[in-house]
A and B are shown apart, each in its own frame.
Chain A
Amino acid sequence: MCLAIPGQIVDIDGSNSLTRMARVSFAGIIKEVSLAYTPEAGPGDYVVVHAGFALNTVDEEEARRTIELIHEMDDAG
């Protein structure tokens, strides 16, 4: 139940933050996901989902930095 890859929000339904649901695409497979814990998430954002709830959005800047660290290693070596 813990294997989780980020999914991308396709669209969002509902404005009440408790019941805000999104359709999220996981490499093409669409699931209904609650955004109750991630009110900041919007269409196009990537989210990490467990048991039907988005737990966090992916920070693109940090993702880029993580990959860059490896390229620096290559340049040094």
Chain B
Amino acid sequence: MKYLDEFRDPARARTLADEIRRITTRPWMIMEICGGQTHAILRYGIDQILPPDITLLHGPGCPVCVTPLEQIDKAIELAQRPEIIFTSFGDMLRVPGSSTDLLSVKARGGDVRIVYSPLEAVDLARRHPERQVVFFAVGFETTAPANAMAAAAARQAGLDNFSLLVSHVLVPPAIEAILSSPECRVQGFLAAGHVCAVEGYEDYEPLCAKYRVPIVVTGFEPIDILQGILHCVLQLEAGRAEVENQYARIVRREGNPRARALVREVFEIAPRKWRGIGEIPHSGLRLRGEWREFDAELRFPLSTQHVDESPDCISGLVLQGVKKPDECHAFAIRCNPDSPLGATMVSSEGACAAYYRYKRRHA
């Protein structure tokens, strides 16, 4: 298939790995932000073909992993109400809340439905005027345009039975939180290509200047990732710290202006709690005042309280690149994809799940 095979070619991958080896003179730690990239790195064994001086740290860019426990509990509470059809992307269903998960609610008779796009949830609301339809609006910059359009479509159709449980997070504030932590080991970043396809990369420029780190906007195929690493190492070796765009076939500096405009019309920037990490200022989106009629948290009184994470799970440290999954004492012993202790073991984009699937053999 076009734009896939060329970017998965093993010969080209070897050329890039050789080039990285040739130019590397000392150890560097590079973080890929996006869980999709983490998955690809382990699946294709990219970490195995890099020179030993290059360490990849896995970042917090998995929406399933960072959606806070309280939001999962709120979703579960809503899904248990008989008048509600609760809709969600499929990968949120197995994420453990403090006592159960959405899949178990569904098994016990809750009306939980998987949708591929939030527009399907709007459509359900149109077809079931007697029911309330709630969509679990999670994700990074990549799903915000779809969720903004869902609110706009519901307004255009005059629906009063559609609402969003919003848990949106943004990448640049998370990068800043990692860089400003005293434990930070990251010297360069691969930024998530599709996040930048929406929002562009202007927001990364001040981060490069302030923290003196290179940030390379990078795609998801093996060739993309290796090329992103190469550009990052070239900058590190030369003492440069700039934004570079490896993924120019998809990403423009200004992103997608139409998508940005609607996201800004419907949502505003707000503080958000990240699962395992804690609250990060300006790191999320919530519905703007004029759009709050679509806010499920205002429409339905919720009793969800603050809850603490399992003390055995170190996913917060994993998500910040401080620890690797196989450094967790529970990894592959008490925690596995069939009975996950933390969200990073649930999602296929989570670092713990990727290590479990692809790396346990070598460990």
Contact = CB atoms under 8 A, between A and B. Distances in A.
B258 interface: yes
B256 A52 contact: no
A58 B3 contact: yes
Contacts of B262: 37
B256 A2 contact: no
B344 interface: no
Which of the four size classes fits the interface of chain A? 35 or more
Nearest to B226: A70
Which of the four size classes fits the interface of chain B? 35 or more
A66 B89 contact: no
B39 A31 contact: no
Contacts of B146: 34, 50-53
Interface in A49-69: 50-53, 55-56, 58-60, 62-63, 65-67, 69
Contact of A58 (B36, B39, B227, B249): B249
Contacts, number: 131
Contact of B149 (A4, A34, A60): A34
B27 to A, nearest CB: 23
B36 A70 contact: no
B34 A2 contact: yes
B249 A70 contact: no
A1 B259 contact: no
A59 B194 contact: no
A70 B10 CA distance: 12
A60 B6 CA distance: 12
Given A52-B146, A63-B249, A73-B19, A6 B3 contact: yes
Interface of A: 1-6, 8, 27, 31, 34, 36-39, 46, 48, 50-53, 55-56, 58-60, 62-63, 65-67, 69-70, 73-74, 77
9 A-B pairs with the lowest CB-CB distances in the bound complex, closest first = A52-B117, A51-B146, A62-B249, A63-B249, A62-B248, A50-B142, A37-B259, A51-B143, A1-B89
Given A1-B64, A50-B194, A51-B147, 6 more contacts: A2-B34, A2-B61, A6-B3, A8-B2, A51-B143, A70-B12
Interface of B: 1-4, 6-7, 12, 15-16, 18-19, 22, 34-36, 39, 61-64, 89, 91, 116-120, 138-140, 142-143, 145-147, 149, 192, 194, 197-198, 220, 223-224, 227, 246, 248-252, 256, 258-259, 262, 348-349
